[in-house]
Structure 1
Amino acid sequence: MSTPTLSIITVNFNNNPGLQETIRSVQSQSYTDYEHIIIDANSVDGSKETIIRYSAESPYLSYWVSEPDKGIYDGMNKGIEHAKGKYIYFLNSGDFLFGPNVLSSILFDGTSYICGNMRMVYSDTEYEDIVPPEKIDGLFLLKSFLPHPASFIHHSLFVNQEYRTDYRIISDWIHMVDNLILKGCSYKHVNILISNFDSTGLSSTNGSIGLDERNKWIKENIPTRIYDSLMELDNFKNSILGSIIPIVNEKKHRTQKRMKKIVLLLSKILK
């Protein structure tokens, strides 16, 4: 296979039904300039057999392995090591692409982070669509996140920068903050529903762990007074007063830029 534009990486552990659904959604795509990589954590529920069958019928499965690992980010790092695409896209078992023309709708134009919308499904009748902002600032990412199963990340962002395995849930968020905020990488939102997200996964069912990990990272990387000041600015921006006083809003915008510079400087000092 020549160098593909997109490397789709699927991490799986004992989720054979979800893995099959993920594979079907990839196979249904009209887009063909991709490779598929599956990293299985030594599953014993028939997942390995599913991958073997898939390997025999699909020319797009460029690499797969079934072996013990140290968690989801270890598996994702294994996938990155074997990826040849210009962009990396993580679609883990149980997640699936929203329709057969989703990937064909994405313009892979060199932007570092291309992010679409994601549907988080809670039941047959309940779901929530996650729509990222048109522009990203530090205040947004410090409080929220970009939907990982709807994000296409330029391969260059993983050169000498794997996902941290000392965090269970938020290593992808750390990668976003480091690249989009601290390094100023380019970002683009495409208003397209990219994927359905399996809400029974680790990050969804262990929200308190994710919150604790995020707070831990913030405390280690951003001084408390700076973080509190940023949150005060954000609260003002979303208040009625902030929206009806343009002059103050303009000054606040300049202040946000100054605060971002302070955060960048302190982050470099701490590192």
Structure 2
Amino acid sequence: MAQPNPKLSIITIVLNNHSFLKHTIESVIKQSYSNIEYIVIDGGSTDGSVELIQSYGSKIETWISEKDSGIYNAINKGVSLATGEWLCILNAGDRLANENTITQLFREPISNEIQVLYGDWFLCNLKENPNVLVKGHANLAKGYILHQSLVYRTSLHKLRGPYLETKKLIISDYIFLRSIDEKYFQFVNMPISINDNSGVSSQSWSLEQKVAYDFILGNVTFQYMVKRILFERMPGLIKRILQLLLKFRSR
């Protein structure tokens, strides 16, 4: 068994998201768990995000502000700075579920074989309904895992390298995690995070990439892939059809 109270590095990336960054920072620095290293990677914000980061002083161990080439380039910068045994990626707008989340996560010794601890989550829309939370349930077999709602061993990056930084790829974290054998995952029966679903990764094309990747791996059938993609696109298709009908009707 691993030693208790392992060091956890939490990485937050942000670019011009001052409004919601404070939610994330507060949720991290108020954790009852003491052995946390907090790293914030700013992409060169001009909206006051940098000043907000600076206002927290020593509560944020490491931060940088410079232009990057995308989300995963920024995350990789954070990973390269991390000194903890475990990693958590909690981007601006996302929060830990409560002040005792990390304490509960590490309350029992973890087998050295386990590489990833994952759990459930809540979703909310900070722009429209910040107080309305919708429960999400993790299911590893179906690929229902979110990077905000898990922690993993930093050493995995030494074995598998950094996140892919290919343009327009928004599922590098999913590809990284799905490359790990399921026997190294351990489910914890608790919500780990509250995630803002108004971000880039919540868009339908992100889910489409995930389903397509699962099809390549042989985890889902071609029929399932098509159904999921059509289901995700259906609301948008219906909306466009109704707009066309109204347009022709008004002529």
What TM-score, normalized to structure 2?
0.76
Contact 1:121–1:198 (CA under 8 A) maintained in structure 2? yes
- Map 1:74-153 to 2 at 5 A: 74-107=73-106, 109=110, 110=112, 111-122=114-125, 123-124=129-130, 126-133=132-139, 136-137=140-141, 140-141=142-143, 145-153=144-152
Higher helix share: 1
Q: How many pairs were matched up?
A: 212
2:37 counterpart (24, 35, 49): 35
Q: Give the counterpart letter for 1:91 in structure 2.
A: L
Structure 2 Cα separation of the partners of residues 230 and 102 of structure 1: 39
- Map 1:20-31 to 2 at 5 A: 20-31=22-33
Structure 1 Cα separation of the partners of residues 174 and 138 of structure 2: 14
Contact 1:12–1:41 (CA under 8 A) maintained in structure 2? yes
Match of 1:177 in 2: 178
Structure 2 Cα separation of the partners of residues 26 and 65 of structure 1: 18
Q: What SS does the aligned partner of 1:169 have? A: coil
Once the two structures are TM-superposed, the CA of residue 4 in structure 1 deviates from its matched residue by 5.9
Residues 175-227 of structure 1 show CA distances to partners (whole Å, capped at 9, x for unaligned) of 121113xxx551111111211101111111x21x21443355456x447xx85
RMSD between aligned residues: 2.5
Once the two structures are TM-superposed, the CA of residue 74 in structure 1 deviates from its matched residue by 0.8
Provide structure 1 residue ranges, at least 5 long, that are not aligned to the other structure. Answer: 233-271
Shift in CA distance, 115/40, structure 1 to aligned 2, threshold 3 Å: same
Structure 2 Cα separation of the partners of residues 105 and 146 of structure 1: 19
Contact 1:73–1:168 (CA under 8 A) maintained in structure 2? no
Contact 1:130–1:147 (CA under 8 A) maintained in structure 2? no
Contact 1:4–1:35 (CA under 8 A) maintained in structure 2? no
Structure 2 Cα separation of the partners of residues 41 and 177 of structure 1: 27
Structure 1 Cα separation of the partners of residues 217 and 163 of structure 2: 20
Residues 85-132 of structure 1 show CA distances to partners (whole Å, capped at 9, x for unaligned) of 111001111111122111110126142110121100132464321121
1:11 counterpart (10, 13, 21): 13
Q: What SS does the aligned partner of 1:103 have? A: helix
Match of 1:188 in 2: 186
Residues 142-166 of structure 1 show CA distances to partners (whole Å, capped at 9, x for unaligned) of xxx3021111011111114211111
Shift in CA distance, 178/155, structure 1 to aligned 2, threshold 3 Å: same
What TM-score, normalized to structure 1?
0.71
Structure 2 Cα separation of the partners of residues 230 and 178 of structure 1: 23
Structure 1 runs (4+) greater than 4 angstroms displaced:
229-232
Structure 2 Cα separation of the partners of residues 87 and 69 of structure 1: 24
Q: What SS does the aligned partner of 1:179 have? A: coil
Over the matched positions of the two proteins, sequence identity in percent amounts to 30
